[in-house]
Amino acid sequence: MSNRRDFLKLSAIGGSLGLALSHIKSISAIEQKQPTGPIVVSTWEHGLSANEAAWDVLSKKGRAIDAVEKGVRIPEGDPKVRTVSLGGYPDSSGKVTLDACIMDENMNCGSVAYLQNIKHPISVARKVMDDTPHVMLVGEGAQQFAKEQGFVEEDLLTAESKADWQNWLTSGQAKKLINIENHDTIGMLALDAEGNLSGACTTSGAAYKMPGRVGDSPIIGAGLYVDNEIGAATATGMGELMMKTVGCHLVVELMRQGASPQEACKQAVLRIANKLENFEQFQVGFLALNKQGEYGAYCIQTGFNYAVRNVNGEQLLDAKYLLEDKI
Ligand code: ASP
pLDDT in tens, the chain (327 residues): 334 333 333 333 333 333 334 434 443 444 445 547 999 999 999 999 999 999 999 999 999 999 999 999 999 999 998 889 998 999 999 999 999 999 999 999 999 999 999 999 999 999 999 999 999 999 999 999 999 999 999 999 999 999 999 998 888 665 555 444 456 899 999 999 999 999 999 999 999 999 999 999 999 999 999 999 999 999 999 999 999 999 999 999 999 999 999 999 999 999 999 999 989 989 999 999 999 999 999 999 999 999 999 999 999 999 999 997 554
* Pocket of ligand 1 from Cβ distances under 6 Å: 83, 182-185, 203, 205-206, 215-217, 236-239
Quote the pLDDT of residue 4: 35
Residue with CA at minimum distance from ligand 1 atom 4: 239
Task: For ligand 1, atom 6, name the residue with the nearest CA.
Answer: 183
What predicted TM-score, i.e. pTM, was given to this entire model?
0.88
Q: Alpha-carbon distance 211 to 202, whole Å?
A: 18
Choose, from 43, 83, 97, 185, the residue flagged as catalytic: 185
Active site residue 236: no
Report pLDDT for 5. Answer: 35
Say what the pLDDT of residue 171 is: 83
- List the residue whose alpha carbon is closest to atom 8 of ligand 1: 183
